Chain A
Amino acid sequence: MSRVIFHPDKCSGCHICEEACSFQHFGVINISKSRIRVSTRFSPEGVFHEAKVCLQCEGAPCTRVCPTGALQKNEDGHLVFNEDKCIGCMLCAKACPYGLIFKHPELKIPLVCDMCGGDPLCVKWCPMGALEVR
């Protein structure tokens, strides 16, 4: 089962992955609608980059708590989200032990990585090679 792997040493914190994600899924430029979230953080030793993106984990507690079957796994082990079935309860986000499901800023739906059907645009657009499908 593949997922998006993040290499913090290669990342520059440019957020282009987030642009790619919002463009791919919603046809807009809006990084707050991205399913991958990058931030540049401070520590006394310097700054560093961090990314949050779904691990496509095997147990997938998010799918198990979804009351309507809106969130499921496909045969590749990737999450598939069906917006028509979603009632916006956000139990999935609460169930994710890693905090990797975000809330859409305007609609009552979760934002969770579906791997773009296997070929994620964030990975393709990352100029630094900091994202990889593995």
Chain B
Amino acid sequence: MDFKGGWIGKILRVDLTSGKIREQELDKDLALNFIGGRGFAIKILWDELPRGIDPLSPQNKLIIATGPVTGTLVPSSGKIVIASKSPLTGGYGDGNIGSLISAKLKMCGYDAIVIEGASPKPVYLYVTPGTVELRDAGHLWGKGAIDSDVALREDYGHDIGTLIIGPAGENLVKISTVISEFGRAGGRPGMGAVFGFKKLKAIVCDGWKDIPVADIEKLAELFREAVDFLKKSPAYEKWIHQGTMMTIEWSQEASVLPAFNFSEGVFDGYSKIGGETMDKEYKVLRRGCLFCPMPCGNVCIARRGKYAGSWGELDYENVAMMGSNIGVDSMDAVVKMNFMADQLGLDAISTGSVIGFAMNLYSEGIISEKDTGGLKLEYGNPDVALSLMEMVAYRKGFGDLLAEGVKRVAEKYGGRALEIAMHVKGLEISAYDCHAAPGMALAYGTSPIGAHHKDAWFIAWELKMGRDLISREKAERLIEMQRIRGGIFETFTVCRLPWIELGLELDYYVKAFNAVTGLDYTLEDHYKVADRIYHLIRAFWIREYGGWSKTYDYPPEKWFKDPLSKGPLAGRKLDKEKYDKLLMYYYETRGWDENGIPKKDTLKSYGLDYVIPELEKIGVKLK
């Protein structure tokens, strides 16, 4: 099999320790079996990372990867994946960003960048066709991620693609992320800290080469059809007005809007931070990612109070986590917090979670002003939240502990704190309360990077199937969703929202992939790639953790123990036996054993034979 487009055929290798830069041919088997994006990342990390390395050491590697469909005539194809061994979870971590750099990297002549080692002094990587240089970033170090982007554009113009960290990444904050274009963020599992440890402030790509496509006429025809379809969707108008922000109201209705550190699924002040209010009173500009015909970026300006005049870009997860989850019902404050998160390079979701957790510890008397340096951590106080953000990003006072993420904070206090620390595998749960959503809880539990909705947005499917249903079919549906969200979209690499929000058919993506590459893959072929990637990611975690227990795939104890006290579903909580049942259906369907370890036959049937001796070597028993 040979491909005629999509992939560029080269990977850029940068060793920050020695400053050596080299090009590597893209292995054709890697392309055909792992496609791109997350697929490239996990294969390279599996092959090249020695077991047990410290994620914040020169031995860790950063993978910046596009896919064959990235930056082509496919709606919302401007995505890029950032991956590494996560300092937050100790397992596989990745995230994606919609940014010009996705296409610009390919236009420089590379499918991916692998960054190794660590630089002795702050640098940024500058890439064009023909120039790859590490340049001094002394003048940018310490600057906010948004301010740094502005500074780089003053030097290089507005056509560059960027990935940048803020002070949080520089200070090795484990809930730091990577920012692009004044407020696009990605890489929740501490990717910012990996940049920071390597003293890599930014990556700048400015390419001008064509992105090769096998059948451009066919692709253009498909593109026009797809855009027509999306624009005719009955949901289009509301989508471009509110984007994901409409989910605030939707989640309130479904009792899954996280409130008070995931104690409740409803929030009294929800409409004040909801999509309708935002659209009517706060939104001033639409922003779309590269090549997206259905822009969901909501640029908003705070109107009232002390934050008036601040601007920020809002979406559901961030607003729920820094709003209802910490008891804040002021859109003005949430706008300010969003801007601060992006400027500091903090992950807004984990930041909302760790602040909510600290407030929860305070409300239950586990910590007091003695621990916090005098701060009264009462729910609903945005000033306290903003102070904490600053303290976390600069590791000041109590912020130094919170910068480690909720799992490590909980380990410090032990006991009850462990029950109310809202994470899975160390990654803070994104914005869906699961007291009454066992399938969504399972989706968070089995998501391959920890509790993030990217792979796990099962909630809408679950509500359709029935939230109380505990069946094999539910686990199978979840796996199908993971194949699509965590497989197809993360390997192509394109945005999933045209499919999930406006119903662009999967068949379209299969056709577009074939038009781009000249290959003849079926949906089943892509599912097989997705499953292969899931097995390999699972093997990576097992190798790092030295084995596996099903409890690693459990959601936090709070959802099993403390029932909802408000809303139409008051009294509800998760049932461990039922959760276990779903988890076993999931494992069986995946071809994993009762401890969540892939079986030998499963690995072999996906061409992952090489995983078997690696795991057996460290004493893992494979069935």
- Contact between B211 and A29, CB atoms less than 8 A apart: yes
- Contact between B287 and A29, CB atoms less than 8 A apart: no
Tell me if A87 counts as interface (CB < 8 A to partner B): no
Tell me if B304 counts as interface (CB < 8 A to partner A): no
Residues of B within 8 A of A105 (CB): 208
Residues of B within 8 A of A48 (CB): 285
Residues of B within 8 A of A127 (CB): 227, 230-231, 293-294
| A15, B76: Cα distance in complex, Å | 11
- Contact between B290 and A32, CB atoms less than 8 A apart: no
In the complex with contacts A12-B295, A125-B227, A30-B107 CB distance below 8 A: yes
Within 8 A of A (CB), among B62-76: 71-73
| A37, B284: Cα distance in complex, Å | 22
- Contact between A14 and B289, CB atoms less than 8 A apart: yes
Within 8 A of A (CB), among B281-327: 284-295, 297, 299, 301, 309, 311
- Contact between A42 and B182, CB atoms less than 8 A apart: yes
Cβ-closest chain B residue relative to A46: B311
Residues of A within 8 A of B78 (CB): 15
Choose among A16, A28, A42 the residue that contacts B293 (Cβ–Cβ < 8 A).
A16
Chain A min CB distance to B502 (Å): 12
Choose among A9, A32, A42, A106 the residue that contacts B150 (Cβ–Cβ < 8 A).
A42
Choose among B231, B291, B299 the residue that contacts A19 (Cβ–Cβ < 8 A).
B291
Tell me if B207 counts as interface (CB < 8 A to partner A): yes
Tell me if A45 counts as interface (CB < 8 A to partner B): yes
- Contact between A12 and B292, CB atoms less than 8 A apart: yes
**Contact pattern, A 38-58, Cβ under 8 Å of B = 1, otherwise 0:** 011110011111000000000
| A128, B241: Cα distance in complex, Å | 12
- Contact between A12 and B297, CB atoms less than 8 A apart: yes
| A106, B78: Cα distance in complex, Å | 23
Tell me if B181 counts as interface (CB < 8 A to partner A): yes
In the complex with contacts A40-B181, A41-B158, A28-B216 CB distance below 8 A: yes
Tell me if B44 counts as interface (CB < 8 A to partner A): no
Residues of B within 8 A of A14 (CB): 288-293, 295
Within 8 A of A (CB), among B174-230: 181-183, 207-211, 213, 216, 220, 224, 227, 230
Q: Among A13, A14, A40, A125, which residue has the most Cβ atoms of chain B within 10 A?
A: A14
- Contact between B103 and A31, CB atoms less than 8 A apart: yes
Residues of B within 8 A of A6 (CB): none
Residues of B within 8 A of A30 (CB): 107, 208-211
- Contact between A32 and B207, CB atoms less than 8 A apart: yes
Chain A min CB distance to B97 (Å): 14
Q: How many A-B residue pairs have CB under 8 A?
A: 96
| A32, B309: Cα distance in complex, Å | 35
Residues of A within 8 A of B311 (CB): 45-47
| A53, B220: Cα distance in complex, Å | 23
| A46, B339: Cα distance in complex, Å | 10
Residues of B within 8 A of A106 (CB): 208
Q: Among A16, A41, A49, which residue has the most Cβ atoms of chain B within 10 A?
A: A16
| A15, B72: Cα distance in complex, Å | 11
Tell me if B349 counts as interface (CB < 8 A to partner A): no
- Contact between A128 and B73, CB atoms less than 8 A apart: no
- Contact between B73 and A13, CB atoms less than 8 A apart: no
| A41, B224: Cα distance in complex, Å | 28
Tell me if A27 counts as interface (CB < 8 A to partner B): yes
- Contact between B286 and A47, CB atoms less than 8 A apart: no
| A45, B311: Cα distance in complex, Å | 7
| A89, B532: Cα distance in complex, Å | 54
- Contact between B211 and A12, CB atoms less than 8 A apart: no
| A23, B78: Cα distance in complex, Å | 17
Tell me if B411 counts as interface (CB < 8 A to partner A): no
Q: Among A23, A29, A39, A105, which residue has the most Cβ atoms of chain B within 10 A?
A: A29
| A48, B287: Cα distance in complex, Å | 9
Cβ-closest chain B residue relative to A24: B220
Cβ-closest chain A residue relative to B149: A42
Tell me if B146 counts as interface (CB < 8 A to partner A): yes
Residues of B within 8 A of A12 (CB): 286-288, 292, 295, 297
Chain A min CB distance to B381 (Å): 26
Residues of B within 8 A of A39 (CB): 158-159
Chain B min CB distance to A85 (Å): 24
Tell me if B393 counts as interface (CB < 8 A to partner A): no
| A42, B183: Cα distance in complex, Å | 11
Cβ-closest chain B residue relative to A127: B293
Chain B min CB distance to A28 (Å): 4
Residues of A within 8 A of B210 (CB): 28-30, 33
Cβ-closest chain A residue relative to B158: A39
Cβ-closest chain B residue relative to A106: B208
Chain A min CB distance to B209 (Å): 7
| A128, B295: Cα distance in complex, Å | 9
Cβ-closest chain A residue relative to B311: A46
In the complex with contacts A23-B220, A42-B182, A47-B288 CB distance below 8 A: no
- Contact between A29 and B290, CB atoms less than 8 A apart: no
| A128, B222: Cα distance in complex, Å | 19
Residues of A within 8 A of B287 (CB): 12-13, 40, 47
| A45, B299: Cα distance in complex, Å | 11
Within 8 A of A (CB), among B131-185: 146, 149-150, 153, 158-159, 181-183
Choose among B208, B216, B291 the residue that contacts A23 (Cβ–Cβ < 8 A).
B216
**Contact pattern, B 92-133, Cβ under 8 Å of A = 1, otherwise 0:** 000000001001000100000000000000000000000000
| A42, B146: Cα distance in complex, Å | 9
Cβ-closest chain B residue relative to A27: B216
Residues of B within 8 A of A31 (CB): 103, 107
- Contact between B285 and A15, CB atoms less than 8 A apart: no
| A19, B100: Cα distance in complex, Å | 13
In the complex with contacts A16-B293, A28-B216, A47-B211 CB distance below 8 A: no
| A105, B291: Cα distance in complex, Å | 21
16 further contact pairs, Cβ within 8 A, besides A47-B182, A125-B224:
A9-B285, A12-B288, A12-B292, A12-B295, A13-B295, A14-B289, A29-B71, A29-B73, A30-B210, A30-B211, A31-B103, A40-B287, A47-B183, A49-B285, A127-B230, A127-B293
**A and B contact pairs by CB, cutoff 8 A, 19 listed:** A12-B287, A13-B287, A14-B289, A14-B290, A14-B291, A16-B293, A19-B73, A19-B291, A23-B220, A28-B210, A30-B209, A32-B207, A46-B285, A46-B301, A47-B182, A48-B285, A106-B208, A127-B230, A128-B240
